[in-house]
Amino acid sequence: MSLIRNIQDDGLGGIQHNAITAKIEDLVKWSRSRSSWPASFGLACCAIEMMATGAAHYDLSRFGMEVFRASPRQADIMIVAGRVSQKMAPVLRQVYDQMMEPKWVISMGVCASTGGMFNNYAIVQGVDQVVPVDVYAPGCPPTPETLIHAIETLHQLIEDGHLMKRRAESGAGANVHVQEIAAGAESIPVLIGTR
Residues that bind other proteins (CB under 8 A): 40-45, 47-49, 51-52, 55-57, 68, 70, 82-83, 85-88, 91, 95, 115, 117-123, 125, 140-141, 143, 183-184, 187-195
Residue 38 · residue 147 · CB < 8 Å: no
Q: Which is nearer to other proteins, 145 or 160 (CB)?
A: 145
Q: Which is nearer to other proteins, 12 or 105 (CB)?
A: 105
Minimum Å gap between C-beta 126 and other proteins is 10
Minimum Å gap between C-beta 33 and other proteins is 25
Positive or negative torsion for Cα 114, 92, 144, 134: positive
Minimum Å gap between C-beta 155 and other proteins is 23
Q: b/e string for 139-159 if b means 16 or more Cβ within 10 A?
A: bebbebebbbebbeebbebbb
Minimum Å gap between C-beta 79 and other proteins is 13
Q: Which is nearer to other proteins, 6 or 146 (CB)?
A: 146
Q: Which is nearer to other proteins, 126 or 132 (CB)?
A: 126
104-108 sheet: strands from edge to edge: 38-39, 77-81, 104-108, 135-137
Q: Which is nearer to other proteins, 6 or 58 (CB)?
A: 58
Closest to 25 in 3D by CA, of 164, 153, 151, 167:
164
Cα separation, 179 vs 70, whole angstroms: 26
| Contact partners, residue 145, CB within 8 Å, separation at least 6 | 58
Minimum Å gap between C-beta 130 and other proteins is 14
| Contact partners, residue 188, CB within 8 Å, separation at least 6 | 181
